[in-house]
A and B are shown apart, each in its own frame.
Chain A
Amino acid sequence: MADAHADLVHTEYTSTGLRSTKLAMWLFLASECLLFGGLITAYVLYRGQSTTGPYPQDVFDIGYTSVSSFVLLASSLTMVLSHNASLARDYARMRLWLLATAMLGLCFVGGQVFEFTSFFREGLTLHTNLFGSTFFVLTGFHGVHVTVGILMLLILVAFSFRGSLSDDPAFPVEMVGLYWHFVDIVWIVIFTVVYLIPAPPPHGAV
């Protein structure tokens, strides 16, 4: 009981009784919905509007991207297991799962870099056509978010080793976790809208 009180007195609360940091994180994620919604809408609006190739059906490899999706989903699972371990005050396991999440995130970003490189080789760049512009901006923004998430995870691990996490290490892990899971749900939508739904025939094609 005394320990619980000690945890509570160092916590910032809003007048609603909600922890302000957590409320701010949810507000940030809500605003991110608008950002990614705009980028996804731009992609959908310009689907099939390109007048020159390469077109989506020329460059996409669904099998390869599916593996990337499995990797990101697995990273969400390891993230939540890390939070679970932090709640149980099992910090060794927490660090292990955090590192596993960061490694899976790195695999995803590495896969994206490889995919982008192969698209470049096939002649698709940011300036080639409407498909290239909207595709690279959307998936590039997502990749940057994943990279930021990886940095946050590694900083969390470093802080944990230094012992400079707060009295309640489960809280920062939960906050980073919220960000990481959000990046995952954005990919869930991108995977369906961009990769799985067949692109309409090229502009002007019968």
Chain B
Amino acid sequence: MSSTDHRTEPDTAAPPAGASDQHVAYHPSAREYIRVGLLLIALTCIEVLLSYSSLSGTKLVVALFACTIIKFVLVVGYFMHLKFDNGRFSRVFALGAIGAFTLYAVVLLMFRVWSS
């Protein structure tokens, strides 16, 4: 079968050499997933406690965002398997996530500059 056959008959195409996403090479065990789940719940508890604490504005925001970023990375890395999957999927998602963050960070900065 030639390398272009899959474009006309996708249902019968064999994967190109190096196809690696059929199944992720490594899957964490159920016990590891539960550990990650418990860690996520613990981080959420810390976030809630922080919101009730006497931390000042900037310190509180930094601490809350630190917890949020850790939770985000844990879910994307372990539950969505990006840590173990083909790197191209990570790049596709990072393009959207980092692109959105950059775009909207610029928008927020612009509005803040205009309002001051």
Name A residues whose Cβ lies closer than 8 Å to a Cβ of B.
Answer: 7-13, 15-20, 22-23, 26-27, 29-34, 36-38, 40-41, 44-45, 62-63, 66, 69-70, 73-74, 76-77, 79-81, 84, 87, 170, 174, 177-178, 181-182, 184-185, 188-189, 191-192, 195-198
Contact = CB atoms under 8 A, between A and B. Distances in A.
A172 B101 CA distance: 29
Interface string B47-79: 110111000010011001101100110011011
Nearest to B94: A30
Contacts, number: 167
B32 to A, nearest CB: 10
Contacts of A196: 47-48, 50-51, 64
A181 B22 contact: no
Given A9-B13, A17-B18, A74-B41, 5 more contacts: A12-B6, A26-B93, A41-B104, A41-B107, A170-B23
Contact of B72 (A38, A80, A188): A188
Given A12-B10, A12-B13, A19 B22 contact: yes
A80 B34 CA distance: 9
A166 B36 CA distance: 30
B50 to A, nearest CB: 7
Given A30-B97, A185-B76, A45 B14 contact: no
B33 A37 contact: no
A82 to B, nearest CB: 11
B113 interface: no
Interface in B65-116: 65, 67-68, 71-72, 75-76, 78-81, 86, 88-89, 92-93, 95-97, 99-101, 103-104, 107-108, 111
A69 B29 CA distance: 24
Given A17-B19, A19-B22, A37 B101 contact: yes
Contact of B44 (A7, A22, A73, A182): A73
Task: Tell which of A31, A41, A81 has the most Cβ of chain B within 10 Å.
Answer: A41
B47 A87 contact: no
Contacts of B101: 37
A188 B33 CA distance: 18
Nearest to A5: B14
Given A12-B6, A77-B34, A197 B75 contact: no
A31 B96 contact: yes
Contact of A181 (B47, B79, B108): B79
A151 B86 CA distance: 29
A58 to B, nearest CB: 16
Given A81-B30, A196-B51, A188 B16 contact: no
Contacts of B95: 30
B104 A8 contact: no
Task: Tell which of A34, A69, A185, A198 has the most Cβ of chain B within 10 Å.
Answer: A185
A34 B80 contact: no
A84 B33 contact: yes
Given A16-B88, A81-B33, A22 B21 contact: yes
